[in-house]
Chain A
């Protein structure tokens, strides 16, 4: 096999990003959807935080720990949806046949999907985080540089899951698209978004150790409550993310090879 599947062209990646930007420009509901859910979540959890701050010692010791959890969790969620939903657009449009008779490589499509996911997540996160300032007098931006570290670790986890979901849907058809909406939520109970990992049973703590997001949320609480940046948690998250991103890419590229074997790139559908 000398097809050099890892070769990338910035021009072709840019072409696909342009395609998704055209799509978003042509459809205002797609843009509204970006900020709608994170904003609703942030407002809901903002009020819950406000209530708990007066009734819970743990929440009261630092303002914004729950709102931060909501905002950071949404990075992971949006990161995954950004990859999966943009990929589904090609399947809805039945455009994969044209795309893959062009010189576009599957890895270039993946790079375009990740770029769009980054743009979409930045838009949704920034909108919700800015709204939290006037509503709850809380700015997540006060976390400073660690916020950037948390952001990239969470979005990479989202990318890994998004690529796996896209690959599975390519392989098994659009009947499996609901995976996009539910896959990430399987991680939420063991990611320690709203509570420390130590409340989980021992065996589940072991499972949580292998979820990069659990290290990010533990790191977030360490920073907000104890005022320390835990580099051990950071390293754990980075190593796990690299492994999962590699796995996500393997699933995605493997699904394309399977699609070429089974004739799915032209006859894609339900």
Chain B
């Protein structure tokens, strides 16, 4: 892919009086891992949902993989995928049954072989025949991650990909995703609250606050710009400045 994998212009989403995403514009170049950061309610999940076409924007333009998502999302959806620990898979179906269903939905011809390979790589092969609802939170996260990689997406959107994983498995998943990105040349956009993870994996960071982009850059540039040693300190600075700003506004 030559141009940006994601191109957003003046994107706004309102839910009645609440402006969840407020006139944001950004683009994501191909072959990057980009982080979408922000406090709770900053608009990260809404932005991901808009990019996936799960939400219809109030106004603005979204192009994903060169496709206008508002007009033609079904041309882009087979080439992208999504995972979030907050969106479930059916509990009564086994891990393998769930993955088989999604292999059908994504039109994957060698579905069973690909499922076995992913299960082996993500170390949940012994759990394939167990009902999804009986898996631990970490095991569920890995099955959902396998679901998101079934179609070998060119663009992978992730909402807190390592939430609920133990440090060892989280480290393994980060290495796996980084290797997948390098091997496939795919682009990844991930929302995360884990700053160490972002510093390790991402080459580009977008920080949202109250539905707007407040800053953007690679982790090293952001640390230098804010004169801080870690991205976590940068994040806290931005969040507390906003709270201070809100408090000042309230008291005046």
User: How far does the alpha carbon of A95 sit from the alpha carbon of B98 in the complex, in Å?
Assistant: 11
- B105 with A12: CB separation less than 8 A: yes
**Which positions 92-109 of chain A face chain B at CB distance < 8 Å?**
93-95, 97-105
Is A266 engaged at the interface, CB distance under 8 Å to the other chain?
A: yes
- B74 with A27: CB separation less than 8 A: no
**Which positions 155-191 of chain B face chain A at CB distance < 8 Å?**
none
Residues on the B chain within 8 Å of A105, using CB = 74
- B90 with A103: CB separation less than 8 A: no
Question: Could you say which of A16, A102, A104, A263 contacts B55, with CB atoms under 8 Å apart?
Answer: A263
Contacts A14-B104, A93-B88, A98-B102; A260 near B54 (Cβ below 8 A): yes
Is B10 engaged at the interface, CB distance under 8 Å to the other chain?
A: no
Question: Could you say which of A14, A15, A101, A257 contacts B77, with CB atoms under 8 Å apart?
Answer: A101
Contacts A9-B107, A266-B87; A15 near B101 (Cβ below 8 A): yes
Contacts A26-B131, A100-B54; A18 near B100 (Cβ below 8 A): yes
Q: How far is the CB of B131 from chain A (nearest CB, A)?
A: 7
Residues on the B chain within 8 Å of A93, using CB = 88-91
Q: How far is the CB of A13 from chain B (nearest CB, A)?
A: 9
User: How far does the alpha carbon of A15 sit from the alpha carbon of B104 in the complex, in Å?
Assistant: 5
Q: How far is the CB of B14 from chain A (nearest CB, A)?
A: 10
Contacts A16-B101, A100-B54; A27 near B92 (Cβ below 8 A): yes
Q: How far is the CB of A218 from chain B (nearest CB, A)?
A: 42
Q: How far is the CB of A84 from chain B (nearest CB, A)?
A: 17
Is B41 engaged at the interface, CB distance under 8 Å to the other chain?
A: no
- A103 with B74: CB separation less than 8 A: yes
Is B56 engaged at the interface, CB distance under 8 Å to the other chain?
A: yes
Is B82 engaged at the interface, CB distance under 8 Å to the other chain?
A: yes
Is A2 engaged at the interface, CB distance under 8 Å to the other chain?
A: yes
Residues on the A chain within 8 Å of B144, using CB = 98
- A265 with B107: CB separation less than 8 A: no
Q: How far is the CB of B45 from chain A (nearest CB, A)?
A: 7
User: How far does the alpha carbon of A101 sit from the alpha carbon of B97 in the complex, in Å?
Assistant: 18
Is A11 engaged at the interface, CB distance under 8 Å to the other chain?
A: yes
| Residue of A1, A15, A16 contacting most chain B CB atoms (<10 Å) | A15
Q: Tally B residues with Cβ within 8 Å of A.
A: 40
User: How far does the alpha carbon of A97 sit from the alpha carbon of B49 in the complex, in Å?
Assistant: 9
Residues on the A chain within 8 Å of B78, using CB = 103
User: How far does the alpha carbon of A153 sit from the alpha carbon of B144 in the complex, in Å?
Assistant: 41
User: How far does the alpha carbon of A104 sit from the alpha carbon of B77 in the complex, in Å?
Assistant: 9
- B101 with A19: CB separation less than 8 A: yes
Question: Interface extent on A, as a size class?
Answer: 35 or more
User: How far does the alpha carbon of A1 sit from the alpha carbon of B72 in the complex, in Å?
Assistant: 8
- B49 with A266: CB separation less than 8 A: yes
Is A137 engaged at the interface, CB distance under 8 Å to the other chain?
A: no
Residues on the A chain within 8 Å of B90, using CB = 19, 23, 89, 93, 95
Residues on the A chain within 8 Å of B73, using CB = 3
- B74 with A3: CB separation less than 8 A: yes
Q: How far is the CB of B208 from chain A (nearest CB, A)?
A: 17
Q: How far is the CB of A251 from chain B (nearest CB, A)?
A: 18
User: How far does the alpha carbon of A98 sit from the alpha carbon of B74 in the complex, in Å?
Assistant: 14
User: How far does the alpha carbon of A95 sit from the alpha carbon of B89 in the complex, in Å?
Assistant: 5
- Which of chain A's residues has its CB closest to B133's CB? A93
- Which of chain A's residues has its CB closest to B16's CB? A262
Is A22 engaged at the interface, CB distance under 8 Å to the other chain?
A: yes
Q: How far is the CB of A91 from chain B (nearest CB, A)?
A: 11
1/0 contact string of B69-109 vs chain A (CB within 8 Å): 00111100110111010111111111001001111111100
Q: How far is the CB of A266 from chain B (nearest CB, A)?
A: 6
Contacts A11-B107, A94-B88; A19 near B93 (Cβ below 8 A): yes
- A4 with B74: CB separation less than 8 A: yes
| Residue of B15, B88, B104 contacting most chain A CB atoms (<10 Å) | B104
Q: How far is the CB of B54 from chain A (nearest CB, A)?
A: 5
Residues on the A chain within 8 Å of B87, using CB = 94-95, 97-98, 266
- B74 with A266: CB separation less than 8 A: no
| Residue of B91, B131, B147 contacting most chain A CB atoms (<10 Å) | B91
Which residues of B line the A interface, CB within 8 A?
15, 45-46, 49, 52-56, 71-74, 77-78, 80-82, 84, 86-94, 97, 100-107, 131, 144, 147
**Known contacts A94-B88, A98-B87; can you find 8 more A-B pairs with CB under 8 A?**
A2-B71, A2-B72, A15-B105, A93-B88, A93-B91, A95-B89, A98-B82, A261-B56
Q: Which 3 A-B pairs have the closest CB atoms?
A: A15-B104, A97-B87, A93-B90
13 A–B contacts from the bound complex (CB under 8 Å): A3-B74, A22-B97, A97-B54, A99-B105, A100-B54, A101-B82, A102-B105, A102-B106, A103-B77, A104-B105, A257-B56, A263-B46, A265-B54
